[in-house]
Chain A
Amino acid sequence: MHSLIQLSIVVLLLPLLSFVILIFFNRKLPRRGDFVGVGILGTAFAISATIFWQVVVQAYDPAFRVAWDFTWIDLGNVPGVGHLQFKMGIVIDNLTSIMLAMVTLISLLVHLYSTGYMAGDKNYGRYFAFLGIFTFSMLGIVLSDNLFSIYIFWELVGLSSYLLIGFFFEKQSAADAQKKAFLANRVGDIGMWLGILILYSQFHTFSFQEVYANLAAGKFGLSNGWLTAAGILLFMGCVGKSAQFPLHVWLPDAMEGPTPVSALIHAATMVAAGVYFVARIFIILTPDALHVIAFIGACTAFMAATIAITQNDIKRVLAYSTVSQLGYMVLGLGVGAYSAALFHLVTHAFFKACLFLGSGAIIHATHHEQDMRWMGGLSKNMPWTFATFTLATLALAGLPLTSGFLSKDAILAGAIGFANVEGGGIYYLIPVLGFFSAMLTAFYMGRQIWLVFFGENRAHLKPADDHHHGHDAHAAHGADDSHDDHHEDHGVHEVSWNMRAPLVILAALSLFFVYSPDPLDGAKGWFMKMIPTPATVVGAANPQKGALLAGVAAPAHEAVAPHGESAAPAAGEHGVAAASHGEAKAGHNYSDPRQAEIIHAGHAAHYTAIYISSAMVLLGVSLAFIVYVFGIIDPDKTALAIRPLYLFSLNKWYWDEIYQATFIKGSMALAKMLTWFDINIVDGIVNGVATLVRKFAFLNSSFDKHVVDGAVNFTAFTVNTTGAVLRKLQTGKVQTYVVMLLLALVGYFAFYLARLIH
């Protein structure tokens, strides 16, 4: 077994160990055993850091891959299939090692942060246990080498998310949210499961590698539509987990959970798992499936952004921005900007975790005030939080010199290239939506920064009932009441070091130089070199489609290629782009011309993307300034002016209401109807038959009583009466007997005489 495998197994099992220890013994340990969680995660991070170092830094090979598996279920010699085994295994490549490091790092930071944030909660120990099992499941997703085990950990992640969202289960809203999250994920999982089943039914294996190989060998027995369906169904898993439209509704509600959990699960890692999974199956997705994915991603990005601009809850804004950013990633995958999407996954994980932790710090400091309308002017009280939060905001908005800029730009570039290759028309909708969402992102983040940190504190404006509600939340939260809440101006103060340190680390990780030497081009960075776009196997699976695509794509290739060569000497950076493009081609000879074309076009569109996106971001930021800083436009008046739009956005496009009205009400009505059917029809028939039988039985019994039994009784009666009569004769008196005896004698004599007479 490869040493990396051993290390990764250790990393995988350490959080589970933490879970087991804490769930059983947290009350016996000092400090409810939070040090156990932090320590174990620290170890896990150290080990994954070494894995990261060995794989990414030392090996520095895009094609690096070690795998190991063992037989989990052995179905023996199955007729028609042969010896059938389900294997469990671990695969380690660049992506895995990067994800490992990222997940363990953020998890470690969140553990650390939580020691401050959750201090004094009555289920403090259980909280860390849940964090442990979440980390375990997440690492399982990252490490697993086959669809079955990834599905298993997929569900386990859903469980831990369920447990953590509902951590304050006394709050009805939290209980609702956790249920909603789990069910929405389940809906997605069904699709994912069906997709897995389609692939299994063809190849009788779950392993990624074997599925790839079989598809590449064209062993897929069903029609191409089934393959597309498989791709889309598998993508449904991502839709559920990554909160893509139309299953995005659970993620904002999931903010009912503790804020560090939101940072860890619902911003950084779990929601990214969907993207990670789509990346794993990227090469078996047919072009049609990719189109669907791209459009869904674009819609999600745009819709979430429009919703985010009107939300007042600080965490909800971040939640919708998360949805929007996940939409970017999915969009990126859909358009074939594979590495860009994963790049954005990582960068987003860091700065979004930073944002959430920062918001958590603010909420903590303001005694569980989450409504931005009652904040303001916090920059003076909380400089550290302010600085890190702002930095992460810039990254999210995608301003240059930040990591977000690099990744988002790469995605948008890919989108433009994709649109070019696909021949424009409707496909241009995708980059357009992307850019527009970028603008909106800049706007609502600017709004948030302003509302939270600038201006004067508006806490005293808060209506009383809300105020008390805040207190209830506080009580339910059960945090320590060290500072006194009862005079009006809330003593806002900077948070303690164990909550500050994660903010700083994460903010540092959302700067550009971590990923790329060039602040303008992520393609120069190690990340996109290490995570090249893999060659699709589907084109090879159906050559006629590949040839057709080649026919379509060839002219576009010719159109773009000369421009690339001609410009190469002139513009160095463009040359670099071409070089990187060439390198990508060198790394993989893409058998599918369409894919090669898209990748090439994406690189080509790099600068177009930069210009447009920067413009849009500046537009958004300036708009935010105009509205909130200079107050040139009054947001409330504007809201009134476009009230329908405003309400549409404020009510999140009414998705919850729609689902409530259709699916939930529908299924409940169906359930009630079926129960009625069950009781009245099915059981009614049964009881009806029973009644009929009983009726017939009564008839039968009356016949029996009166006729059959009648005969018997009659006999008995006659016997009885005769007996009664005869009993009269039996007086018991000797003399009566003698009389009878002599009667007989006389009778004999009479007979005798008659004999004698004749």
Chain B
Amino acid sequence: MQQLTTIGLNHYLTISALLLGFGLFAVMTRKNAIVVLMGVELILNAANINFLAFSKYNGGMQGVMFALFVIVIAAAEAAIALAVVINIFKIFKSVDVSERDSLKE
């Protein structure tokens, strides 16, 4: 009970793990590229939570700075990914990643 009442590192880690799992689940299962991207965002957020949690409970700034960079990169990634998705849509008239198996060639 003491564990639960005083918010500690473990709570954040649990949340981040769940977010990570959900994100992976989305990446794995959903056919819509947009949703896959959302899953990726979830994973990134999970990572960010971990960074910040560790930096808070270690009292250093590294985690914070990393999380900052991750956000920036996430923005870039989202932009690029969406552009790609739109191109895919332009070409295939669909964003169903389960139909895109060009990697086979």
Contacts and interface: CB of A to CB of B under 8 A. Distances in A.
Contact of B102 (A732, A737, A739, A742): A732
A732 B97 contact: no
A734 interface: yes
A733 B103 contact: yes
Contact of B28 (A731, A732, A739): A739
Interface string B65-105: 00000000000000000000000000000000110111111
Contacts of A742: 24, 28
B35 to A, nearest CB: 11
A741 to B, nearest CB: 10
A718 interface: no
A730 interface: yes
Contact of A732 (B24, B27, B29, B105): B105
B95 to A, nearest CB: 13
Contact of A734 (B29, B97, B105): B97
Interface in A704-758: 730-735, 737-739, 742
A740 to B, nearest CB: 10
A180 B61 CA distance: 129
B101 A735 contact: no
Contact of A735 (B28, B102, B104, B105): B28
A735 B104 CA distance: 13
Contacts, number: 31
> Chain A: interface residue count, which band?
10 to 19
Identify whether the interface residues of A are mostly helix, strand, loop, or mixed. Answer: helix
B98 A732 contact: no
A357 B40 CA distance: 132
Interface in B3-37: 24, 27-29, 36
B96 to A, nearest CB: 10
B43 to A, nearest CB: 11
Interface residues of B, number: 13
Nearest to B33: A734
B27 A735 contact: yes
Contacts of A739: 28
Contacts of B36: 735
B98 A735 contact: yes
B97 A731 contact: no
B62 to A, nearest CB: 25
A89 B29 CA distance: 119
A730 B105 CA distance: 10
Nearest to B29: A735
B104 A734 contact: no
Given A735-B97, A735-B98, A730 B104 contact: yes
A738 B98 CA distance: 12
B27 A738 contact: yes
Contacts of A731: 101, 104
Interface string B39-56: 000000000000000000
Contacts of A730: 103-104
A738 B26 CA distance: 11
B28 A733 contact: no
Nearest to B101: A732
Of all A-B residue pairs in the complex, the 7 with the closest CB atoms, nearest first, are A732-B104, A732-B101, A732-B103, A733-B101, A738-B28, A735-B28, A738-B27
Interface of A: 730-735, 737-739, 742
19 contacts: A730-B103, A731-B104, A732-B100, A732-B101, A732-B104, A732-B105, A733-B97, A733-B98, A733-B100, A734-B97, A735-B27, A735-B36, A735-B97, A735-B98, A737-B103, A738-B24, A738-B27, A738-B28, A742-B28
